[in-house]
Amino acid sequence: MTRHVTTVLSGARRRFAGRPWAFDVALGAGLTAVNVLTLLDRHPAPSAGGVLLWGAQTVPLFWRSRYPRAVLAAMTGLFVLFEVLDPIQGKLPGPYLLVFGVYAVARYVPLRDSLVAVVFSGVVAAVTDQVLGRFEPPKLGSLEPISVVTFVVFYAVAWLLGYGRRRIDSDARRLRVLNERLRVEQEINARQAVVAERSRIARDLHDVVAHHVSAIAVQARSTEDVLDEDPRLGRQGVERIASTADTALIEMRRILHLLASETADDPEHPEPSLQHLDRLVATVEATGCRVTLNVDESLGALPQALQVSAYRIVQESLTNVLKHAGPCEVVVRLEDGGGRVTIDVQNGPAGPEHRPVAGSGRGLIGLRERAAAFGGTLEAGPRAGGGWRVQVVLPYGEEAR
């Protein structure tokens, strides 16, 4: 019968695991019904009051999870009352019903308070049976008959089980909190990564659009000036405008491709690097600028990310030349020394007939952001003899090679 009761309780526990109040009601009602049924076949038949008092010892379990200390106190008081009144003749088990209250206190009450409540309940119950003379000398290897050892063993086992479950629940809650915190941190990191990637793509789009559109604007004005006097030069200007527009579209497609693909690899249109500076210079020279390019060969071994940033810095600097100075002398130097790359772009003064192209003001901001991304510095300002100079220093260290 005991095994059957245990099986029923285990199944109920699994069924009501997510509803503590429902399980408490089921446990209290089930144990009360079992307690009452165990007395129906006794001889002589117990009185109705005795049966009610015996069954009432498990009724407080209805509130087991909400008021565990009050439940244990009530069960202990009913146990003492039952023992004192002794309404049922015959031998009945001592602490077996109280262990459910002990378990509840150990599980739902903090350690110190649970120990105090359990010890107090055990002492009261044991002293009651001792005073009433219900204890008998214990037998070796057995918990029968009821003795102080029986109370200690059952109370200790019930408390350890309850406290163990409390620790498991506490660890589970802590893990849930940590998992939730980890999830939030991952979402924050993902959002920050998206923002950083959008910022990078925005800078690249700005560099590409500003550079090529500025070149197209300068070429268009130059073509306008010579179209009537020399149609052949005018057609060459139109061809350069078309070629610059095609290059801009290719680079814009490559950048936009990054938004729809997890990889930046594109064999047809690879990411720009220092090896592509000649194409950049050719576009600027097509507008009438005279560009001198000096690049240390050792820079070809730099990491790709650093080469892309260096390329974009040169591109943005030349874009500013086209916007604010137009056709002029330009000197571009990229030097490698002391674990850092020095990018120096200088241009002469603007011609008297140059009409500046309106800008967005993002040029120098983008240069400063690219330099800061590698822990570098930016210096930009007018030259003593006229014109403008931009110098960016990007450290990389020997370990980056």
Q: Mapped to the 3 state alphabet, what secondary structure does 321-333 carry?
A: HHHHCCCCEEEEE
Residues in Cβ contact with 38 at an 8 Å cutoff, skipping those fewer than 6 apart = none
Residue 46, Cβ neighbours under 10 Å: how many?
Answer: 18
Which tops the pLDDT comparison, 131 or 103? 103
Q: Residue 371 — very low, low, confident or very high, per pLDDT cuts 50/70/90?
A: confident
pLDDT digits (tens, 9 = 90+) for 310-327: 988 998 888 888 888 888
pLDDT of residue 401 exceeding 50, the answer is no
pLDDT computed for residue 392 by the predictor: 93
pLDDT digits (tens, 9 = 90+) for 133-165: 777 766 666 556 677 788 888 899 999 999 999
Q: Residue 262 — very low, low, confident or very high, per pLDDT cuts 50/70/90?
A: very low
Residue 90, Cβ neighbours under 10 Å: how many?
Answer: 10
Q: Assign domain 185-400 to its CATH superfamily.
A: Histidine kinase-like ATPase, C-terminal domain (3.30.565.10)
- CATH 3.30.565.10 in the chain, residue ranges: 185-400
Residue 131, Cβ neighbours under 10 Å: how many?
Answer: 11
pLDDT of residue 80 exceeding 80, the answer is yes
Q: Write down how long the chain is.
A: 401
Cα→Cα distances 1→7, 13, 101, 173, Å: 10, 18, 22, 36
pLDDT computed for residue 374 by the predictor: 84
pLDDT computed for residue 2 by the predictor: 41
Which residue type does 59 have?
V
* Per-chain mean pLDDT for the chain: 77
